[in-house]
Amino acid sequence: KPNPGNPAHWPGYRGARRDGVYNGPAIRTDWNTAPPKPAWTTQVGGGHASMTVARGRLFTLEQWAEGEVVTCYNLVDGRGLWRRTYAGKFNDKSAMGGVGPRATPTYDDGRLYTIGAEGQLHCLNADTGKVIWHKNIYVAFGTRNLPFGTCASPWVAGEKLIITAGARAGSAKHTVFALDKMTGEVLWRSAAENQAYMSPFTTTLAGREQILLCAGRAIQGLSLEDGKILWSVKWTVSYDNNIAQPIVVDDTHIFISAGYGAGCGLIEIKKTADQFSANLVWENKNLKNKFTSSVLHEGYLYGLDDGNSDNAAYLVCINAQTGEEKWRGENYGHGQILLAQSHLIIQCENGDLALAKATPESHQQIARLPALPGKTWNNPALANGRLYLRNDQKIICYDIRPGSAAGSVTLNTSTGEALSVLAAAFLLLNGLGCIGLGCFVRPTSE
């Protein structure tokens, strides 16, 4: 049985503040001599949702033959605890983004809020999976889904559940909603910009707590009380593909970024009397986050810059205040990044796992090793010193707490292809009798 007193906590998409920063107990970073060892693995269905951790449980969304599924696993060993299945079978029309749900569950005080790729919003009992309330947001609000599906994870702010609901359609002009988190009742509606793929969150800018949105064609701050637009800055991307999370640099500045050749910029928010104003301080193309998000550490931003091909994205460090590029590192593909203990944990697009130092001095990779099989776009989760990775085939848990057991192989290289060759060579020379890289993620028990 899961231990509800387990202190591991990662309540939603990119952590408690949606900034990709881990502030939990210490982890070890000696991966070059003691690479992480899998604690357990389990099979999962399709989709790009990340994982949420609370009360000794891990939650995610998947797509199986029978439909979309909210799943709950035991945090200790990865065994399934409950499943909530409902109708849903998403694949974007151009078949570019893959199948399945995209949004990550949000945990709050015993309840789990989930939203599927086609807009099925559920409030569930996190212990049992029982439905507390449910609605299809596109049926309820008359808006339309986005070409690549609903990606924005719900956000809990006090008694409110903040959601975005795609694009305007017909007479439906409202695209942002605050619901009563206990009942699903609509508290307010906002006629904001057509929405995109980033997940809303609240932060304090220029002295006022507000909802921060990266909409289809603008960056906007909304009143948490009534949804009124406080300020707006035009920010256009091809096909309205604003995906990356804005990064709060300080109490008056936010960093924004987008791929498809758009680039990045710094927005300054000011307040005079009761009026807000916002302007773009600088803009360049040094860091183009396509469908990944950057992290901030001691005044510098670290992110994956969209390259010149579909599978190229280079780790870049820039000065948050000036936009100056400090260094440009290796190609990790369109993966995802977390910041932990002055280090970057990089989930590479090809399934590799890498660790690098978060320093403006130079690109300093510590280790890179095979982890998941195949393309991986899902964000990792990190709770109480355990790292959780996921794609459309597997979840794998690594114990990276101080004193945890290390794996038997250290691999440090710049490309996935070289990685595979070295791993295969090691296995053959040592007569392990393994075929391919499967033995690196063989399920193990604690």
pLDDT digits (tens, 9 = 90+) for 257-310: 999 999 999 999 999 998 999 999 999 999 999 999 999 999 999 999 998 778
Helices vs strands, H then E, count in the chain = 2, 33
Q: Which residues lie across from 219 on neighbouring strands?
A: 214, 233
Distance from C-alpha of 190 to C-alpha of 201, rounded to nearest angstrom: 15
Q: What letter represents residue 288's amino acid?
A: K
pLDDT, tens digit (0-9, with 9 covering 90-100), for 13-66:
999 999 999 999 999 999 999 999 999 999 999 999 999 999 999 999 999 999
CB atoms within 10 A of CB 282: 13
Mean pLDDT for all residues in the chain = 91
pLDDT at residue 423, as a whole number: 41
User: Which of 354, 336, 322 minimizes the C-alpha distance to 390?
Assistant: 336
**Side-chain-side CA neighbours of residue 73 (13 Å):** 25
Distance from C-alpha of 56 to C-alpha of 76, rounded to nearest angstrom: 7
Distance from C-alpha of 382 to C-alpha of 362, rounded to nearest angstrom: 25
pLDDT at residue 446, as a whole number: 34
Distance from C-alpha of 347 to C-alpha of 354, rounded to nearest angstrom: 7
Look at the block and give the residue holding tokens 């500045």.
Answer: 253
Nearest 5°: CA angle at 97, between 94 and 98? 100
Instruction: Report the pLDDT averaged over residues 318-324.
Output: 98
pLDDT at residue 310, as a whole number: 81
Integer distance in angstroms from the first to the last C-alpha of the chain? 14
pLDDT at residue 429, as a whole number: 37
Q: What letter represents residue 372's amino acid?
A: L
Distance from C-alpha of 136 to C-alpha of 167, rounded to nearest angstrom: 15
Residues in contact with 306: Cβ distance below 8 Å, sequence separation at least 6, in sequence order: 259, 260, 261, 288, 289, 290, 312, 313, 334
Phi (first) and psi of residue 93, to 5 degrees: -60, -30
Retrieve residue 78's tokens. 């990865």
In this prediction, residue 411 has a pLDDT band, given cuts at 50, 70 and 90, of: low
pLDDT, tens digit (0-9, with 9 covering 90-100), for 413-425:
444 444 443 343 3
Distance from C-alpha of 54 to C-alpha of 433, rounded to nearest angstrom: 39
